[in-house]
Structure 1
Amino acid sequence: MTMSAADDRIHIRLMNEYGGGLPLWPDDIDADVDELHLSDSLTSDLEAFAARWDASISPEVYDDRWDGVPVMQSLVRARYALGRLLHPARERAAAAEDDEMRRIGAELRDRLEQELGPAYRVTYVHG
C-alpha cells in the first residue's frame, strides 16, 4: 500500500462498486484487503453495507440491453423519466435510502480508521 508525500499514512478508500465485494480500495492496487486483518464484526458490517448498496441501485443504472441502439436508448431513458414522475414516493424513498447509506458509510469509515490505527487514513466516497 502506498503512502503520499503529504501524509505518511496508508490511504484506503471505502467505496462501493457494483458487485465489488468488500468495499475497500487501497491506493496500492496490488494490496490485498484481506491482509488488513479486520475484526469479523467490521468485515460483516462492510459486506452488509456493500450488499445493501447493490440492492439499492436503480434498474435504470444498469439497464444496458439497448446500448448501441440510439432510438431505443432514448425510449428507455424516457420510460425511466416517466416512472420518476409517476411515482414520487419511490423517488423520496430512494433519496432517503441514499441519505442513510451516506450516514452508514461515514460511520464505517470512522470504525475502519479506528480499527486500523494511526498508520491508516480512510476516506469514504459515496456514489
Structure 2
Amino acid sequence: MKRLHSIATGLLSMGFAAVSLPALAQPQIASGDRYLDNIDGAECLARADAFVDSLEIESSGGEIDRTGYFNDGVFRILCYDYGSYSMVVVFAAHDESAEVATDFMRYALDSIDY
C-alpha cells in the first residue's frame, strides 16, 4: 500500500510539473527611449514606419504606435509629440534571449534617431 501511495504521489507531482512548467517560461523584455530634437510626433512616426518597412515584416499601428514581429519576438514603437521635439519609446520582447531583445531595441532607436 505504501508503494502505491508513493507511485500516486509521484504521478501527481509530475502532472503538476507538466502543467506549471510552461507557465514559468517568460519572454525576455527590453525597453528604451530617446528624445528627438526638432522632430515632431508625425516625423517620429514616419521614421518608425520607414524602420518597420526596412524589416520587410507585417506590422500594425495606431495614432502613436507601431507593432510588429521579428524572429521569435515582438516589438512596439511609441512616438510622443512635444511640439518641436518628440520622444520615441521602444519595447522589444524575445521568447528566450534578453540580449536579442536588447539588441533589437537599440537597433530600432538608432534607426529612428538618425
> How would you bin the TM-score normalised by the shorter chain?
under 0.3
Which of the two has greater strand per residue? 2
| Larger Cα-atom Rg | 2
Which of the two has greater helix per residue? 1
Give the structure-2-normalised TM-score.
0.27
